[in-house]
Amino acid sequence: MSPASITIPTIDITPLLTPTSTRVQRQEVAVALLQAFTVYGVFYITSPSHPVFTSASSAKILDATTRLFDLNPSQKNQIPKIQPGGFTRGYVPIGGESGSQTKELKEGFSYGYEWPAHELEAKQHRNEFNGLQGPNAWPDKETLKELDQPPQQQQQQQQQGGAVAAAAPAPVEADLFKATLQRFYLDVCEVAKGLLQGISLALALEEGELAKYCTTSETISFMRLFHYLPYADPEQKHAAQIGSSAHTDWGFLTLILSPSKTVGLQLFHDNAWHDVPSLENTLVVNGGDYLSLLTGGRLISPLHRVVSNGQQERYSMCCFYYPDYDAKIPLLVEDEVSGQAASGSYSLLRDQRAEDTEETGHDGDAESAKSVATKLLNGDINFGDYIVSKWTQVYRKGGY
Ligand SMILES: O=C(O)CCC(=O)C(=O)O
Ligand SMILES: [Fe+2]
* Closest-approaching ligand to the CA atom of 259: 1
Residue having the nearest C-alpha atom to atom 10 of ligand 1: 249
Alpha-carbon separation of residue 132 from 59, 100, 196, 338, 384 (angstroms): 29, 22, 21, 31, 7
Cβ(106) to ligand 1 under 6 A? no
- The interface predicted TM-score of the complex, written ipTM, equals 0.99
**Residues less than 5 Å from ion ligand 2, measured at CB:** 249
Ligand 1 centroid–CA 40 distance in Å is: 16
**Would you say 242 and 307 are in contact if contact means Cβ atoms under 8 Å apart?**
yes
7 C-alpha vs ligand 2 centroid, how far in Å?
20
- Which atom of ligand 1 is least distant from the CA of 254? 10
Q: Is 226 in a helix, a strand, or coil?
A: strand
| CB of residue 47 inside a 6 A radius of ligand 1 | no
Q: Is 10-394 CATH 3.60.70.12?
A: no
Spell out the domain ranges in the chain: 10-394
Round to the nearest angstrom and report the end-to-end CA distance of the chain.
35
Over range 224-247, report the average pLDDT: 82
For 140-176, what is each residue's pLDDT tens digit?
Answer: 999 999 999 876 555 555 555 555 445 566 666 779 9
Contact 58 CB / ligand 1 (< 6 Å): no
C-alpha distance from residue 388 to each of 197, 220, 352, 357 (Å): 26, 11, 13, 22
**How many angstroms is it from 265 CA to the middle of ligand 1?**
7
Give the residue-averaged pLDDT of 79-104: 85
Q: Give the pLDDT confidence of 92-108 residue by residue, as tens digits.
A: 998 888 777 777 889 99
Going by the DSSP 8-state scheme, the letter that residue 315 receives in this structure is E
Tell me if 262 CB under 6 Å of ligand 1: no
